[in-house]
Structure 1
Amino acid sequence: MKKNLTVSVIIPAYNAEVTIARALDSVMAQTYLPAEVIVVNDGSSDNTSDVVEGYSSAIPLRLIEVPNGGPARARNTAIDAAIGDWLAFLDADDLWISKDKLALQISVAEEHPGATVIDTFAEIYWDEARTNINRYIKKDDALSLLMKKNIINATSSVLAKTETVKEVGGFDPSLRFGEDRLLWANLAKRGEVHTVENVCIFKENSETNLTAKGLANIDYREQLVKKLLALKPVSRSEERKLWLVNYEEFLRKALKNKRFDLYNLIAIRTYKKSGVQFLLSRYSLYFIASLLISKLK
């Protein structure tokens, strides 16, 4: 007799009293119900715990309290406690907008026993400015693609194989930015990555987050790239290209936000890591122009 695959839903929550019930509602509405939902209250200072404890659930709902340590540690706490064959991640301020999300993903898991990651398309709402649909479909070497950028449509869209997630140690808490991408890369190295081609989640994002912390996120990105290169060593030429690709979004958004001081700092780092690859890219034009102007003064 075929065993039904079980799912543990993992929700890290920090000061989520306004959104957590909505997120839980979207889980309870699934046509394929999970075996359990684990909410990890990450040291919230609001009434997140009270909302979860008062929530009426038809399936086991566990609340775990931890001191504030960031979403990676919170998710890892839930991963350690999870009993399901698969882990479904959901952030407390996101929504599963398709009632068939888990059913569609479990169908893929049954069809592809070598899968370690199954995501879906995602609707992303950006700063009241625009809405776009993330539609990355992973048909090629997912690990190589993840070396360049995060091709997983959203963390809240992911269904990941529990055994493999635990095998690689879950999320790396030393990274406060990009820890999800590193986990997906680790999983891609060990199995297949598939995508359900339906929009199943809704997420709000902010474009200012990337550069708002100055060089802090860039430091984390550099740590991430080093860890990715350890997973899959490449030629020196390819390494330079990878560094450039991983700096590009910071360069672009620093210019867009008119953070020219920050742009110049990033440009120097980019040149040191990628050399002529940076000088030949369009992102070097402002940097070269500023150098020429400074020479003429």
Structure 2
Amino acid sequence: MKNPVLTVAMPTYNAERYIGEAIESVLNQTFRDFELLIINDGSLDDTHSVVSSYKDARIRLINLEENRGVAHCRNLALQQARGEFIAWTDSDDLNEPTRFEKQLNFLQNNLDFGGCGTWLSRFKDSKTYYVTKAFKSSEKIKASLLFKPASVPNATAMLRLSEIKKYNLKYDEGLQISEDYDFIFNCSQYLKFSNIQEVLYHYRDSETSIMKSFEDREEQTFHILKTVYKKALVNLDIRASENELRLHHAICSRKMFSKFSRFQECCSWLENLQLANHQKMVYDTQVFNDIVAEQFFFLSKKASGFGLKTLSFFVKKSRKNCWSIKPIACSKLALRCVLKYDKFEFKLT
């Protein structure tokens, strides 16, 4: 039998409630030449029964006797995939009908790219409350991965499987929640990425979400993510200390600052990163400076509770370092600082 063009891989564990919707969002794609490889990771509920109720010949089910973790399942999918390309989808999420068609069209017409993602919406109870708009530029994606795991949202990724095998790229099964960030970062060292500039994937914010259990555990999250931070910073010839890794995490985190001095330290760390890249030329200089400028704006939002002191510091440092910020963003920060707004998301009530 002829191999399909695409393998759609769906790791799953105890997903009986939503997996039916997830499967249907794959089977209803406008592109049809794919296999749906479902890896049931030792589920204890009726996930197997729900999957088995679908009689579509494109579905291939692998049952694991015990729970091995999502990284193991992803590696197994990379080994078992029969397609030229592989796309991920989670067992409680939804895909737009044109997702695979649009991603395949991009990769088949841009042979120098090894993968692409899409924009992603987060929803709960059928209501969308946040959209991740990832960069299109491969250079911006590569540079922003120093700070942002979602520079290519892993769940939206479609990869050229021959390139993954060529460089022996795998998921680290020792990591819990950052195995996807680590994998995409490793891929970015060898492959060019882009993102389709529209929402083609819908992430369900459910109580069973892996990330959900870590949202309020800042310290544990840091200890998991710092493995990737270390690797990324070594590229800039920086062997970061524990405190420097915590500064880097403070820049990437959405946690508000309780001390102005910590905000200043984080700014100094960004300046050090900019200088290191200028010396090592790991990333395109202008692109990296733009990414650092965006991170400084992100950082300053978390210090808006200190009022006009933050705004003055922001303007001073932006001018000194030639960090260009869009006027509308500056206006929003100014309003936050005037109000001494002390929450990350800004809503006037």
The interval holding the TM-score normalised by the smaller chain is 0.7 to 0.9
Tell me by how many angstroms 1:124 deviates.
1.2
Report if the CA contact (8 A) 1:40-1:66 is conserved. no
Question: How is 1:44-193 mapped onto 2 (pairs within 5 angstroms)?
Answer: 44-97=43-96, 99-125=97-123, 131-141=129-139, 142-152=141-151, 154-166=153-165, 167-193=167-193
Distance 2:125 2:88 in 1: 23
Distance 2:90 2:59 in 1: 18
Tell me by how many angstroms 1:69 deviates.
2.2
Residue in 2 aligned with 1:204?
A: 204
* Aligned-CA RMSD value: 3.6
Tell me by how many angstroms 1:246 deviates.
3.0
Q: Report the AA paired with residue 219 of structure 1.
A: H
Higher RCO structure (Cα 8 Å, ≥6 apart): 1
SS at structure 2 position matched to 1:175: coil
Distance 1:46 1:213 in 2: 27
Provide Cα deviations, 1:221-244, integer angstroms capped at 9, x if missing partner. 1112113334x234579x998863
Provide Cα deviations, 1:97-121, integer angstroms capped at 9, x if missing partner. 2x11111111111111121121111
Q: Does structure 1 residue 248 correspond to structure 2 residue 251? A: yes
Report if the CA contact (8 A) 1:135-1:153 is conserved. no
2:228 to 224, 247, 256: 224
TM-score under structure 1 normalisation? 0.77
Tell me by how many angstroms 1:42 deviates.
1.2
Report if the CA contact (8 A) 1:35-1:60 is conserved. no
TM-score under structure 2 normalisation? 0.66
Q: Report the AA paired with residue 173 of structure 2.
A: P
Per mean C-alpha deviation after superposition, the further-off stretch among 20-29 and 117-126 is 117-126
Provide Cα deviations, 1:238-291, integer angstroms capped at 9, x if missing partner. x998863433344x43x59xxxxxx89xx9xx89x969549x9766899xxxxx
Residue in 1 aligned with 2:23?
A: 24
Gaps of 5+ in 1: 257-262, 287-297
Distance 1:211 1:41 in 2: 25
Q: Report the AA paired with residue 93 of structure 2.
A: D
Q: Report the AA paired with residue 93 of structure 1.
A: D
Tell me by how many angstroms 1:96 deviates.
0.3
